[in-house]
DNA sequence: GAGCACTGC
């Protein structure tokens, strides 16, 4: 093994070691050192103060040893807990020491906000204007310049860049941060940077240094993949979090969470805020209501409770409430989804209540259907959650499950790449010039079925030709240029033949952002009634077109969105997406034309990308899918729910009480045959 | 006649 004692700065103990056991309140209580400390500061701090701050970070004491160790290494794994300063400091150290060799240092993040805020902080620390030496690059925003040497970016962005430059020639170092999260992008990047490194070496070019940063302890896996790369450990700045387990398994985790909230509320001094992890919007809204109702009946002596819901679909103005300072003498309770696990950090949290549950997309390989289901978290997730109680001071985490239930949890969440449709990934790898995609060097290889599925879908779309190895077609190359799933990219390319790219770009943009609808549970009927005016008889795609046009017609007015139960944030994103897609179309010399009122042209284009998602009305009034004759129904939220057209196409199937088609358009059988004659001949002969 | 976690290009 390449791990040398000399390189191990400090060993830390994340949650996989046996902790000390104490007892109180009949509950098993445990003591554990956890991630803590905060590295983000406010923007007004001056340069000298910031330099002091930098020197106080745990990573600072190891600076020289770290640089000396990294100098000769082509690849390294850096393990550091939250608060160690690795994300802000390591790129600076490499730059200051000249190890960047005049090329850029890339540091990738799974999330946009992280890339932006870290870059801002580092620019400040260096006393430099953002976009000069230090910059960031995320979708819709490139804040880098000709002098940029340290570039923070989303992992997806580096992957996009790699399509046009597979050897990553502008970079001397690529730091892949937060690798323990195992996003589909970092997992693909692992293989891409490894290949670039080998090829640059072979061609005698400047070597590519790869640094993989992670909070995980599963270091051997990472190290082995990168040719037994050495592992460096950096100490974190952490506070003790007491872990409590329940003595008995809980049958109703929402009820237990409410009980826990009020137990903590009674036992703890005010100003110690509580963070509760639940699974979804509805559950959270109802829990928030219950907490408020119960709080009304509490005695006058107990501190006032401020209860805030938090989930991604919550409008931004309501999201901001969780960051407001808690008035002295009261207590804030935040009820959140796993958005509070990594994406946002809330100050003042002293108590975490962890139900041990999360809503996750579960892929059923037998039906080929996605299903959103409440499942148990992994151990890693549980530790991530408890860490949220120890960011600024020692805290407590109440786990609403027993210790033996904890022991039965899987260690890590399954990497995204093993539970997703891979058609985008395969298309990207082919565009990167990877010849043998089915045998690509993944750190954790997806199943053979899942890879073959993806290739088959791409073949249907005309993006690849199946030979001994799948080969990219010129059309596939064009599709890869779009930041869209292949089916939607295909719809755009098809628009050329129907002179309706303007409308198609709008619909595709609206489809590729989160829901443009906002439906508060209490005003469901109002929302449906008000939005009725946008409904198109041809289906949901044209309804989206109507909404987008109306939104632009009022100059993207926020109040109008609110009045019409639409999500302004997501509509705004759709406008940005459309602009970006339009630029790519212009580069590809696709004429952006409008078809006016001709919705037939639009629906024909949609068929080109979604013909494999067609359903046919049966005599009994039931729909079946054309691909597998599976019984399906129109989702009640669809604008054609009341109608019974002979043929429809849909964007996705979702299994709940029934198997529902979502986002539909009414189509003509002839259009389907025209767009994929051989596919439908095959399907016909099966009948 | 129903209900949708979270990211990202």
Task: Tell me if A235 sits within 8 A of A13, measured CB to CB.
Answer: no
| pLDDT of amino acid A368 | 65
| Residue after which a domain boundary falls, among A344, A374, A404 | A404
Q: What is the CATH number of the domain that holds A75?
A: 3.40.50.300
Task: Using alpha carbons, list the distances in angstroms from residue A445 to A101, A144, A205, A418.
Answer: 34, 35, 29, 7
Is there a domain that residue A25 lies in? no
Tell me, in Å, how far CA of A121 is from C1' of B3?
41
Q: Residue A580 class from Cβ within 10 Å (0-12 exposed, 13-18 middle, 19+ buried)?
A: middle
A543 with A676, same domain: the answer is yes
| pLDDT of amino acid A80 | 86
Tell me, in Å, how far CA of A338 is from C1' of B4?
15
- Shortest CA distance to A266 belongs to which of A32, A23, A25? A25
**Is the pLDDT at A3 greater than 70, yes or no?**
no
> Rounded CA gap, A650 and A663, in Å?
5
Confidence class for position A596, pLDDT limits 50, 70, 90 = confident
pLDDT digits over A144-167, tens only?
999 999 999 999 999 999 999 999
Q: Which nucleotides of B are covered by protein (CB under 7 A)?
A: 1-9
482-541 of chain A touching strand B, CB 7 A cut-off: 483-485, 512, 514-515, 519, 524, 528
Q: Would you list the DSSP string of A471-503?
A: EE-HHHHHHHTSSS-HHHHHHHHHGGGGT-HHH
| pLDDT of amino acid A45 | 54
**Is the pLDDT at A56 greater than 90, yes or no?**
no
Q: What is the mean pLDDT of residues A612-634?
A: 92
A214 with A70, same domain: the answer is yes
Q: What is the mean pLDDT of residues A624-647?
A: 92
Confidence class for position A366, pLDDT limits 50, 70, 90 = low
Q: Take residue A294 and report the two structure tokens written for it.
A: 């119960």
Tell me, in Å, how far CA of A685 is from C1' of B2?
35
> Rounded CA gap, A650 and A197, in Å?
43
pLDDT digits over A451-501, tens only?
998 999 999 999 999 988 999 999 999 999 999 999 999 999 999 999 999
Task: Tell me if A238 sits within 8 A of A390, measured CB to CB.
Answer: yes
- Shortest CA distance to A382 belongs to which of A394, A396, A395, A399? A399
Mean per-residue pLDDT of chain A: 87
Task: State the pairing for strand pair A209-214/A75-80.
Answer: parallel
CB atoms within 10 A of CB A646: 12
| Residue after which a domain boundary falls, among A441, A458, A476 | A476
Is there a domain that residue A218 lies in? yes
Is there a domain that residue A76 lies in? yes
Whether CB of A657 is under 7 Å from strand B: the answer is yes
> Rounded CA gap, A147 and A188, in Å?
28
Task: Tell me if A155 sits within 8 A of A175, measured CB to CB.
Answer: no
| Residue after which a domain boundary falls, among A207, A234, A261 | A234
Tell me, in Å, how far CA of A420 is from C1' of B5?
15
615-644 of chain A touching strand B, CB 7 A cut-off: 635-637, 641
Q: Would you list the DSSP string of A456-469?
A: HHHHHTTSEE-SSS
Tell me, in Å, how far CA of A202 is from C1' of B6?
40
- Shortest CA distance to A452 belongs to which of A469, A473, A435, A432? A469
Residue at shortest CA–C1' distance from B5: A359
Tell me, in Å, how far CA of A110 is from C1' of B8?
8
C-alpha A552, offset from chain centre: 28
A400 with A431, same domain: the answer is no
**Rounded percentage of chain A residues whose pLDDT exceeds 70:** 92
> Rounded CA gap, A555 and A3, in Å?
59
Residue at shortest CA–C1' distance from B7: A111
**Is the pLDDT at A391 greater than 90, yes or no?**
no
| pLDDT of amino acid A200 | 96
Number of domains in chain A: 4
Residue at shortest CA–C1' distance from B1: A636
**Is the pLDDT at A208 greater than 90, yes or no?**
yes
Which residues constitute the domain of residue A522?
Answer: 486-686
Residue at shortest CA–C1' distance from B2: A636
> Rounded CA gap, A118 and A322, in Å?
22
| pLDDT of amino acid A216 | 74
333-372 of chain A touching strand B, CB 7 A cut-off: 337-339, 343, 358-361, 372
């Amino acid at each position: 093994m390449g791990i040398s004692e000399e390189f191990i700065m400090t060993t830390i103990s994340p949650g996989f070691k046996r902790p000390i056991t104490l007892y109180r309140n009949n509950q098993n209580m445990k003591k554990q050192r956890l991630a803590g400390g905060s590295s983000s500061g406010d923007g007004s701090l001056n340069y000298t103060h910031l330099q002091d701050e930098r020197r106080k970070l745990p990573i600072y004491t190891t600076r020289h040893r770290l640089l000396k160790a990294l100098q000769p290494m082509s690849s390294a794994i850096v393990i550091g807990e939250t608060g160690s300063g690795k994300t802000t400091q390591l790129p600076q150290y490499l730059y200051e020491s000249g190890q960047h060799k005049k090329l850029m240092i890339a540091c990738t993040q799974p999330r946009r906000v992280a890339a932006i805020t870290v870059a801002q902080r580092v620019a400040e620390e260096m006393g430099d204007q953002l976009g000069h030496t230090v910059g960031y690059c995320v979708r819709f925003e490139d804040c880098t310049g000709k002098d940029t040497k340290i570039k923070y970016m989303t992992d997806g962005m580096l992957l996009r860049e790699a399509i046009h430059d597979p050897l990553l020639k502008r970079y001397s170092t690529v730091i892949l941060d937060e690798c323990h999260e195992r996003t589909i992008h970092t997992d693909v990047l692992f293989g891409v940077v490894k290949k670039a490194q080998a090829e640059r070496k072979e061609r005698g070019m400047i070597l590519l240094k790869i640094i993989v940063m992670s909070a995980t302890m599963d270091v051997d896996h990472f190290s082995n993949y990168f040719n037994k790369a050495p592992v460096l450990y950096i100490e974190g700045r952490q506070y003790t979090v007491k872990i409590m387990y329940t003595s008995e398994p809980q049958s109703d985790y929402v009820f237990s969470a409410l009980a826990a909230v009020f137990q903590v509320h009674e036992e703890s001094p005010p100003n110690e805020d509580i963070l509760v992890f639940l699974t979804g919007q509805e559950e959270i809204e109802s829990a928030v209501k219950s907490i408020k109702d119960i709080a009304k009946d509490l005695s006058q002596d107990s501190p006032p409770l401020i209860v805030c819901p938090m989930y991604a679909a919550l409008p931004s103005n309501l999201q901001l409430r969780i960051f407001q300072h808690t008035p002295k003498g009261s207590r804030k309770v935040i009820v959140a989804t796993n958005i509070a696990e990594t994406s946002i950090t809330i100050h003042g949290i002293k108590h975490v209540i962890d139900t041990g549950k999360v809503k996750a997309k579960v892929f059923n390989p037998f039906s080929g259907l996605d299903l959103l289901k409440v499942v148990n978290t992994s151990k890693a997730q549980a530790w991530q959650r408890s860490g949220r109680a120890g960011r600024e001071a020692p805290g407590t985490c109440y786990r609403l499950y027993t210790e033996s239930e904890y022991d039965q949890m899987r260690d890590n969440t399954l990497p995204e790449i093993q539970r997703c449709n891979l058609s985008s990934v395969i298309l990207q790898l082919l565009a990167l010039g990877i010849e043998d995609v089915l045998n690509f060097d993944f750190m954790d290889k997806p199943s053979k079925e899942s890879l073959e599925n993806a290739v088959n879908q791409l073949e249907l779309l005309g993006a690849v030709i199946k030979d001994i190895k799948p080969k990219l077609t010129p059309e596939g190359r064009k599709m890869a240029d779009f930041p869209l799933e292949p089916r939607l990219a295909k719809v755009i390319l098809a628009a050329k033949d129907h002179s309706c790219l303007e409308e198609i770009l709008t619909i595709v943009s609206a489809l590729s952002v989160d829901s443009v609808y906002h439906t508060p549970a209490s005003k469901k009927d109002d929302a449906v009634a008000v939005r009725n005016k946008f409904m198109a008889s041809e289906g949901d795609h044209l309804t989206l077109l109507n909404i987008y046009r109306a939104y632009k017609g009022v100059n993207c007015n926020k109040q109008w969105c609110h009045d019409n139960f639409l999500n302004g944030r997501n509509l705004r994103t759709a406008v940005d997406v459309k602009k970006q897609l339009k630029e790519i179309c212009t580069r590809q010399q696709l004429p952006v034309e409008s078809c006016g009122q001709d919705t037939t042209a639009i629906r024909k284009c949609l068929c080109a990308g979604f013909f494999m998602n067609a359903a046919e009305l049966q005599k009994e009034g039931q729909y079946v899918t054309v691909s597998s004759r599976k019984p399906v129904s129109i989702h009640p939220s669809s604008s054609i729910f009341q109608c019974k057209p002979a043929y429809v196409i849909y964007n996705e199937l979702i299994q709940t009480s029934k198997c529902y088609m979502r986002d539909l358009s009414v189509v003509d059988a002839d259009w389907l045959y025209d767009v994929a004659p051989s596919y439908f001949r095959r399907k016909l002969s099966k009948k």
